[in-house]
Amino acid sequence: MTPDEIRKSYHVELKELKKMVEEMGDLSSRAISKAIDSLVDLDEEKIREVDDLDNKIYAYDRAIEKKSLDLIALQAPVARDLRMIGTCLKIITDLNRIGRYSQDITKVTERMLGKKHMKKLVSIPHMADLTTKMVDMAVDSFVEENEEYQEEIYEKEEMVDALYDEIFREVLTYMMEDKETITMGTQYVLVIRYLERIADHACNIVDRVVYMETGERIEPET
């Protein structure tokens, strides 16, 4: 018996679990992009597409949780396998939240349907691109089992935070100049708040990957 043949079905199941998390991550990333597209284009059809994605994300959340618990109960995983399963259980909550924030963005779109944007949206899609990239990188770090993505993700998070401040100030200026823009301006502020939260979830995911790979926990910044 070669080493790879020992507990073969268990190792196949671990790979399947990882694949499911990868697919869930892909859905979450697509949900952000699609939600921002719905906002930029004020397109009702895209709102439905995000709803569909969010439903699928939720189904993955349930399925991954069940598979993880089954593996713990039946296979008694230890060491890195145990940390991997623990990581799956944690990061699916982050990915689920990302799906929910994407849906929240489409709620903003819904409220804006039939209206026009104050100006062409540039900074918000840029912030969304960065945020989506962070989520993609966090999921890649999990799939590739490579914690070295952490530094780049944290650098991008600083950029996202800076963009949040910048856009917030810009929108505030518009609202102070013309009170007619307040209704729409507050909606933009909500969107950038959701994007900033999504970026934080991407950081959470890569922090868990660091633990999965090294066994060392990242202490939260005080």
Q: Which of residues 81-100 bind another protein (CB under 8 A)?
A: 81-83
Helix, strand and coil in the chain, % to nearest 5: 85, 0, 15
Q: What phi and psi, each to the nearest 5 degrees, are found at residue 220? A: -65, 145
Q: Which is nearer to another protein, 11 or 133 (CB)?
A: 11
**Cα separations in angstroms, 189 against 58, 105, 140, 196:** 26, 11, 29, 11
Q: Which is nearer to another protein, 11 or 56 (CB)?
A: 11
Q: Which of 45, 73, 78, 179 is close enough to bind another protein by CB under 8 A?
A: 78
Q: Is 79 in the site for another protein (CB under 8 A)?
A: yes
* Rounded to 5°, angle at Cα 141 from 139 and 147: 145
Give the range of 42-50, 53-61, 74-82, 176-184 binding another protein by CB under 8 A: 74-82
Number of residues lying near another protein (CB under 8 A):
15
Q: Which of residues 134-163 bind another protein (CB under 8 A)?
A: none
Give the range of 72-80, 98-106, 187-195, 202-210 binding another protein by CB under 8 A: 72-80
Task: Quote the CA–CA distance of 167 and 189 in Å, as a whole number.
Answer: 8
Q: Which of 7, 48, 62, 126 is close enough to bind another protein by CB under 8 A?
A: 7
Which of 146, 144, 150 lies closest to 213 in space, CA to CA? 146
Q: Is 220 in the site for another protein (CB under 8 A)?
A: no
Q: Which of 59, 74, 76, 176 is close enough to bind another protein by CB under 8 A?
A: 76
Other CB atoms within 10 A of residue 207 CB: 23
Q: Is 208 in the site for another protein (CB under 8 A)?
A: no
Provide Rg for the chain, Cα atoms: 20
**Which spans of this chain sit near another protein (rule: CB under 8 A)?**
3-4, 6-7, 10-11, 76-83, 215
